[in-house]
Amino acid sequence: MNSHEKSAPSRIARHFEACANEDRPALVTFITAGDPDLATSQAIMDGLPGAGADLIELGMPFSDPMADGVAIQLAGQRALATGHTMKATLQMVRRFREKDTDTPVILMGYYNPILSYGNDAFLADAVAAGVDGLIIVDLPFEEDAEFCLPALKAGLSFIRLTTPTTDDVRLPLVLKNASGFVYYVSMTGITGAAISDYDVVGQAVKRIKAETDLPVAVGFGIKTGDDATRIGKHADGVVVGTALVNALAQSLDAEGRATDATAPAVHDLVRSLAQGVRRARD
Amino acid sequence: MTSPLANSLRTGPTPEGRFGQFGGRFVAETLMPLIGELEKAYREARNDPSYGEELEALGKHYTGRPSPLYFAERMSAHLGGAKIYFKREELNHTGSHKLNNCIGQILLARRMGKTRIIAETGAGQHGVATATVCARFGLPCVIYMGATDVERQAPNVFRMKLLGAEIVPVTAGAGTLKDAMNEALRDWVSNVDDTYYLIGTAAGPHPYPEMVRDFQSVIGRELREQFLQAEGGLPDTLVACIGGGSNAIGLFHEFLDDPEVAIYGAEAGGYGIDTDNGHAASMTGGRPGVLHGNRTYLLQDDDGQILEGHSISAGLDYPGVGPEHSFLKDSGRVTYVPITDREALDAFQLCARLEGILPALESAHGLAQVIKLAPDMDKEQSIVLCLSGRGDKDVETVGKYLEGAS
């Protein structure tokens, strides 16, 4: 079935547009695939839209997540310890798509596991599974020929990270092959750190929006519904990852296994974040 | 004699940081502007004669360069073949080749106005060299070191502390060099304004592999001159150990376009390259991938997850290798071979008894390859080993092994 191939790129745009029409930012939620085990992770993913997530970022576990903090590193380690593979990550998307053909799914991770899978095979399998976009942390625009351009050609969005260190010279180059949305990293730091100044973030978002028509989502440092409200004032979307991963981690038993509380812990926080984004423009 | 090769092997990297298909700049956007700034600062420094003069003066009076070229007479007689020479980088201040690179980079950091230095270390040799130059120039220094390595390299940890460095033990993963490098990268991402990341080997994102190679190439340049005086002509064979490969590329680079010079790199074969995750031989036992900012040969599983690897030598216990080595492997110019823990330990002991020199376990891997090559070579031929570090730091590890083996 190839219906995803045509509809996939537009799903992201459609969702940002729908949120804009509701005069609120989109809620983008991140979970790590296979954390803490495949079945629980699938249940968490399947329940995200119902809890209020507008877009889903699914982390592809990697042994050496250099740009992530310890929470997301541990999530990846939990998944890998169960024998989680790239094929299993794509399988999760396929299963999700059996029930949900509407919510955009973006795979986020590092390049080596893709390279190892085979770039062309990965793109084909991701499209077939119903993936909408990719965020590959360690592929700056300098390496676009390598994977970004083939991904665009395959019909996937290639979402770019911009950071406070992205200067006026780099910004247009970063945005050149960007698609789907722009992910503004609110700080120079790793995932899980704290935002110090919301106004600075707002100015940064304005600067990016002056250069692109794409929606701008802000991530790094958003932990609560109130954070989502504050950041959402300035952005087309808010991305929450570490806080959800922490909620999951706190629900595990002493051996790090899922409990009955695991999926609800994540979904409850998503619900509270969803309320937060709905207060953003009040 | 330098041969007029149309395709010189010494022209890399490209402006994009590529050595053939290897190298590049595979880092998060946060770091890209910093890497660009670093490259620009390095180009400017190289074009500034005062930078070169400062490097040379410190090399001479602080490091103790040139390092001697020593004829290992009893080792040569014992092996009964080629004449064996040691390029004695272990006699440098701090006891290894690492200081060559640290001096070059700390001068650069100062030119860039950076006020805080971070580094990763495995065996502690690079950490000690970094802590040393930070003390010398009065800059605060944070060293990331795997918790496992902190334990097995206690003397170097104490040295770094005496030099005023802060040691951060890294517990993620297996607590070895790759985990320390991840953590140093995270620090850098979080402290972009004031911090300089002083990478210890010829790996990482462009321009590090080129820059570190340039600083270490003093080894090969000195050798060419010294060997000409000692023997006339060129050595027949060069050997160096490879972890990230900075001493090796420093030795090799000068001779890459001299095809009559055979070149060998000794990787950490650990328990043997047929043992799953039991070695750190990324080229002879791994495949190309992308990690820590560059494309290079890596130890990885079928799903592209990075393996920890194993070596008795903490300095070789890294799942990657500098991208220029990957290029030289594929081009066939350099022959890379695995040396097991046991072979390295045997070479360590032989060197101690025959020459009165304790080599670092890293360098002992190179020596083990010399021991394999020399007997089959002609008595008129010569092998030069880069004796990259001294073995004082390893006596405890070797002692434990010998107790266990007796």
- A73 in Cβ contact with A120 (< 8 Å): no
pLDDT per position as a tens digit, B144-186: 999 988 987 888 999 999 999 999 999 877 788 888 998 998 8
Q: Mean pLDDT over all residues of chain A?
A: 93
Taking phi over 0 as left and psi of -120 to 50 as alpha, with beta for the rest, B233 belongs to left
Residue B98 bears catalytic tag = yes
Query: Residue A278 is encoded by which pair of tokens?
Result: 């709905």
Q: For strands B293-298 and B287-291, give the pairing.
A: antiparallel
pLDDT at residue A199 tops 90? no
pLDDT score of B404: 80
Q: Mean pLDDT over all residues of chain B?
A: 94
Output the CA torsion sign for B27, B32, B35, B40: positive
**CA angle (B291 as vertex; B287, B297 as ends), nearest 5:** 25
ipTM over 0.90: yes
Using a CB–CB cutoff of 8 Å, tell me whether B30 touches chain A: yes
Question: For A67, which of B172, B178, B189 is closest by C-beta distance?
Answer: B189
Q: For strands A133-136 and B83-88, give the pairing.
A: unpaired
pLDDT at residue B327 tops 90? yes
- B385 in Cβ contact with B239 (< 8 Å): yes
Give the up-direction half-sphere exposure of residue B160: CA atoms within 13 A in the CB hemisphere: 32
pLDDT score of A1: 39
pLDDT at residue A194 tops 70? no
List the domains of chain B with CATH numbers: 26-60+98-212 (3.40.50.1100), 66-95+217-405 (3.40.50.1100)
pLDDT at residue A119 tops 50? yes
User: Could you say which residues from 18 to 77 on chain A have a Cβ atom under 8 Å away from some Cβ of chain B?
Assistant: 61-67, 69-70, 73
**Rounded to whole angstroms, how far apart are CA atoms A199 and A203?**
6
pLDDT score of B405: 67
DSSP B115: -
Other beta carbons within 10 Å of B376: 11
Domain count, chain A: 1
pLDDT score of B155: 87
Residues in chain A, total:
282
Residue B352, classified by CB atoms within 10 Å of its CB into exposed (0-12), middle (13-18) or buried (19+), is: middle
Helix, strand, coil percentages, rounded to 5, for chain A: 50, 15, 35
What is the nearest CA distance from A198 to chain B, expressed in angstroms? Answer: 18
Range of the domain at A73: 3-278
pLDDT per position as a tens digit, B54-72: 999 999 999 999 999 999 9
Cis-peptide, bond into residue B4, ω within 30° of zero:
no
pLDDT per position as a tens digit, B17-51: 999 999 999 999 989 999 999 999 999 999 999 99
Question: For A112, which of B32, B182, B289 is closest by C-beta distance?
Answer: B289
pLDDT per position as a tens digit, B346-360: 999 999 999 999 999
Residues of A in contact with B118 (CB under 8 A): none
- The CATH number covering residue A10 comes to 3.20.20.70
Query: Residue B182 is encoded by which pair of tokens?
Result: 């991840």
